[in-house]
Each structure stands twice: as structure tokens, then as C-alpha cells.
Amino acid sequence: AAQPPLLSDLRQDAQVERCRTFLPHTVLLKDWIDLRVGGEIALTADVKGQIEISRRGAVPASGKRAPSPKSSKVARAVREREDTGKRRVNASESTEDFIDKLPADRHTDAEADLRQAILEYLEGKGAPVTFTDLTRSPLVQQCQAAFLPAEASLKAWIDRRVGGEVETFKDESGRPAVKLRDSHKASAADAGQDREALKEQFFSTLPQDGFTPDEEQLREALLDILHNWKAKELPTLSHAGSDARVKKYRAKVLARNAAVALRDWIDRRIGGEVELFDTPGGQLAFGLRGAEEAGRKGSAARKRPAGGEPGGRAWKKGGAGGAPPDRSGDHWR
């Protein structure tokens, strides 16, 4: 009998990809399927750990799985596996192939986001955690979904790409677990001091009475997101990071100093216009400073202080481009 498609095969279907855009970045497709259409659609792991998708009850009397539909790119992907006489390579091989294609001398942007999310989560815990707990972190979930293929192993990626900082092991109960390596913890204080020095060096090179052209573009891109945002909740920095214009100019502005994150630049350079909020989900949201409804729209988010000092360059309202447009009246409509 024909094999059912894998969950990862759904990415090849244009209609599925188009429709799944309604999901928030923190919600995985498999979670939505389980919670919303689980009575109709079943997700099961095969012997290789890959997630198969099928209609509930569609199991022939022989006990074999029902054939998948014979239309769409999903079905074609399944038939291609059958025509070769074997299933897709197993999960470990798929992961190795994926990792082998990554740059040997650097992390990609999405990879760096996942690394940072894991490090921040582990640093916040201060103790080893299970992989289950790690992957329950909304930010780790989001970064993992944005970077790793569905069949790829997070453990294998950690071992191959950030193994110098993060160690994987089995805890006393035999559960897969993860922790910061001692070398990372031992150097954390020095690294923190070095990072702060690099940040200050970076900001000292920027104009004190205006913005560079690339900074102005980044500023406008962030303000445009706020101006056009329609959702009840404030946008997060992860939302901003997925915007093509923000991504382009963030790379241009911050590429010279890996110690400076987008949140640092917002605090230090446009903190007079934009403020950051810690959300209950552990992410950073951003909104117009002083907007009357910012607290309510942030779902009880706690306000973060801006990094700059009043009157300093972190509080410039318009920089070289003049005062920013007054968007407070129309942003929250």
C-alpha cells in the first residue's frame, strides 16, 4: 500500500503554505492540527521518528496505512519516494545532509537566532533542562520552526553547530537533556564585559546628531510595521525580524558588531520613539513610546526601560531625518 505523506511534505503544497500564514509565528502547524482538527487528522511517528499525517479511520482491513490522495504536490512527493523503492532518508541522515550544507565559518541569520534563543533560555534557568522543556519555550519553538526542517534533529544541530557552548546528554532518568558547558559559564562574566565594550565601541562610531542612511531606513521600517499593525497584541521583535526590509537594513546596520542586537539598537538609537515590552510569553514586543493604549494592547506586558538617557543620543526623536511623523493617533485603529 502507498505510504502516507510526512508532515514535512506539506511544505511542498502551495495551498497549505498560503493558508498557514494565518498562524502566529509561535504556533507550529502540528500543534494546530492536534488541537483544531485532531478528530479528523492523525499525526503519528513512524519507526524513523518522522511525523506521518493521515485521515483518522482510513486504515484498510489489512492493517496497513491507507494510501494518500493522488493529487497535489504532497501526493507526488510520496509517489517519488515509492518509485525509488524506499522512504525518505532517515531522520539522522536528513539532519546530517542539512547541516553539511550550512556555512562552515559562520551561522546563518536564522541559525544565529536559534542559538541565541537556546543560550538565553539556558542562562535564565541556570541548570540543565530536558529537551521537552527546552522545546516548550515559545521563542525556541519559533526559531526552530523558522530554521530547522521538520524531520531534522535539534539535538544533532546543537552537537554539530553549537556544541562548544551547549552540551547534550541523558539525565538520571534517561531523558535527553541539555545544559550550558562549563567553559561557557566560566567565561560568561568576561564575555559579558567584552560584549558591553563592543557595544559601546559600536555606538560611539554612529553620528550623535543624526542617523546614518541605513539607520534611517531601519527606523522607518520599524515605524511602518507599527503604523500598519492591525492585531490586538503588539508586534514582537521576532515579527520585525521576519520583515524583509527590517532584515535587510538590520544586517547593514548591525553587521559590523555581533554584540549588538536589534533590541539594543532600538533602546539606544530610537528609544525616544519606540519602547520595548516583556510579554508573558517571554518575547520582546515593541510599540510607540507614550501611546496611551500601549499597556492594554500589550496583554498586560511589563514595560521595559529604554537603554538611553534623556537628552542623550538614545533619545533622538528624528535624527538626521527630522522629527518622526505623529503616528500615535492612527496606529491603534
Question: Can you tell me the distance from the alpha carbon of 316 to that of 212, in angstroms, rounded to the nearest whole number?
Answer: 13
pLDDT score at 256: 55
Q: What is the pLDDT of residues 271-318, one digit of tens each?
A: 999 999 888 767 788 999 876 454 554 444 444 444 443 333 333 434
Count of domains for the chain: 3
Whether residue 24 is found in the same domain as residue 51: yes
Crossing angle for the helix pair 154-161 and 91-100, to the nearest 10 degrees: 40
Question: Can you tell me the distance from the alpha carbon of 326 to that of 333, in angstroms, rounded to the nearest whole number?
Answer: 14
Q: What ranges in 179-312 are assigned the alpha helix state H?
A: 182-186, 188-204, 213-228, 237-241, 244-254, 262-269, 294-297
The cell for 272 is 525616544
Domain boundary among 34, 64, 88: 88
Whether residue 211 is found in the same domain as residue 300: yes
Q: Closest Cα partner for 179 from 136, 125, 98, 139?
A: 125
Kindly report the number of other CB atoms within 10 A of residue 79's CB atom: 16
Instruction: Give the per-residue SS3 of 73-121.
Output: HHHHHHHHHHHCCCCCCCHHHHHHHHHHCCCCCCCCHHHHHHHHHHHHH
Q: Say if CB 178 and CB 122 are below 8 A apart.
A: yes
Q: Say if CB 298 and CB 285 are below 8 A apart.
A: yes
Residue 199 domain-assigned?
no
Whether residue 84 is found in the same domain as residue 104: no
pLDDT score at 258: 61
Residue 329 domain-assigned?
no
Residue 330 domain-assigned?
no
Backbone dihedral angles phi then psi of residue 127, each to the nearest 5 degrees? -155, 160
Residue 35: which residues within 8 A CB-CB, separation 6 or more? none
Residue 75 domain-assigned?
yes
Bridge partners (DSSP) of residue 166 are 180
Residue 331 domain-assigned?
no
Whether residue 312 is found in the same domain as residue 264: yes
252 lies in which domain range? 205-321
Q: Which residues of the chain have pLDDT under 70?
A: 1-2, 11, 21, 24-27, 46-49, 57-94, 183-195, 255-259, 281, 291-333
Q: Closest Cα partner for 306 from 258, 261, 256, 269?
A: 269
Question: Can you tell me the distance from the alpha carbon of 78 to that of 67, in angstroms, rounded to the nearest whole number?
Answer: 10
CATH code at position 123: 3.90.1150
Domain boundary among 88, 112, 140: 88
Residue 44: which residues within 8 A CB-CB, separation 6 or more? 51, 52, 54
Residue 175 domain-assigned?
yes
For residue 38, how far is the Cα from the chain centroid? 25
3-state DSSP call for residue 269? helix
Average pLDDT, the chain: 73
Domain boundary among 31, 64, 88: 88
pLDDT score at 192: 55
Q: What is the pLDDT of residues 168-216, one digit of tens each?
A: 999 888 899 999 887 545 554 555 566 688 788 889 999 999 999 999 9
Residue 214 domain-assigned?
yes
Question: Can you tell me the distance from the alpha carbon of 236 to that of 278, in angstroms, rounded to the nearest whole number?
Answer: 9
Whether residue 144 is found in the same domain as residue 222: no
pLDDT score at 193: 60
Whether residue 174 is found in the same domain as residue 213: no
3-state DSSP call for residue 6? strand
3-state helix, strand, coil in the chain (%, to 5): 45, 10, 40
Cα dihedral value 129, 132, 136, 139, nearest 10? 60
Whether residue 166 is found in the same domain as residue 145: yes
Whether residue 71 is found in the same domain as residue 99: no
pTM: 0.41
